[in-house]
Structure 1
Amino acid sequence: MATWVDLVRYVKAAYRVISEEDGELRILHRFESPFEELGEEREQVVVIHREVLDGKHEWVQIVSPCGLVSEIDLQRFLEEVGHTTVAGGAAIIGDHVVVRHSLPLENLDPNEFDDPLELVVGTADQLEEKFVGGDEY
């Protein structure tokens, strides 16, 4: 992949896109086992957003919400992120606490997108379960 258009084409072929706007895709990630084996279905919304740095460098930002700022003990949350996450970091966007990760689009291979996406979505879901106690996002 070398451009946002290339990434959009790839994401539409590989994932379930639930909405699309200029420079942004939203996908719904469904988790398989062990949740299916327990009779639970867990899902996580992921926002894939195009960023342009310095007016010329295309990046993609992968964002997944964990809960509302008002519902989360931010100190405990950030300590957990600091001890347990491999890819991504925590941020506040609007009223939501999110896990996000950014990647340059130039020369991006599918596995260089898929692996961080899986880490972000899995981390966000685990943090949501631990700090919010549900599956709202």
Structure 2
Amino acid sequence: MATWNDIAAFVRSEYRVIEDTGDEIRILIEYEDDRSQVIMVCREVLDKQEDWVQVASVCGLVADVDLHLLLKEIGETSVVCGAVIMGEHVVLRHSLPLLNLDINEFLDPLQLVADTADHLEETFFGGDGY
């Protein structure tokens, strides 16, 4: 069984941490084309009893995008992550239960969320602000 402390220790040792508040760790994923993506790895507790890890990344401002086209693109190209609105931002996120979690079940979704958010940010928002 993985715990939040196991995941947090792994993230801290393997990624470039830019902010760490204990239950939320922000990391920077850098790409060869000089683009980058900030990823939030957060501890979530479901129903006050089950520990989960959530991987999330902002891709842009809601006001700057056609949500229909953005959601269509996600539906056609992504097998991981859902899009949500948090405040003024479009955020991609994926959650995993920590009970019986193997590290590869965390790594692949983390990379897919980062890559998808970066792709959407470049395609729909025309920049690299997140």
Same fold (TM over 0.5): yes
**Equivalent-residue separation in structure 2 for 1:69 and 1:77 (angstroms):** 10
Deviations 1:25-80 (A, max 9, x none): 00000013xx2xxxxx0100001111101211100110011101111111111111
Deviation of residue 119 (structure 1)?
Answer: 0.5
Aligned residues between the structures: 130
Tell me what 2:8 maps to.
8
Gap runs ≥5 in structure 1:
36-40
Deviation of residue 22 (structure 1)?
Answer: 3.2
Gap runs ≥5 in structure 2:
none
**Equivalent-residue separation in structure 1 for 2:48 and 2:38 (angstroms):** 28
Deviation of residue 108 (structure 1)?
Answer: 1.4
Counterpart secondary structure, 1:25: strand
Counterpart secondary structure, 2:114: helix
1:97-136 alignment runs, 5 A limit: 97-136=90-129
Q: Does 1:87 align with 2:80?
A: yes
Q: Does 1:58 align with 2:51?
A: yes
4+ runs of 1 displaced by more than 2 Å? none
Say what the alpha-carbon RMSD is for the aligned residues.
Answer: 1.0
AA aligned opposite 2:66 = D
Length-normalised TM-score, structure 1 = 0.91
Tell me what 2:64 maps to.
71
**Equivalent-residue separation in structure 2 for 1:10 and 1:109 (angstroms):** 12
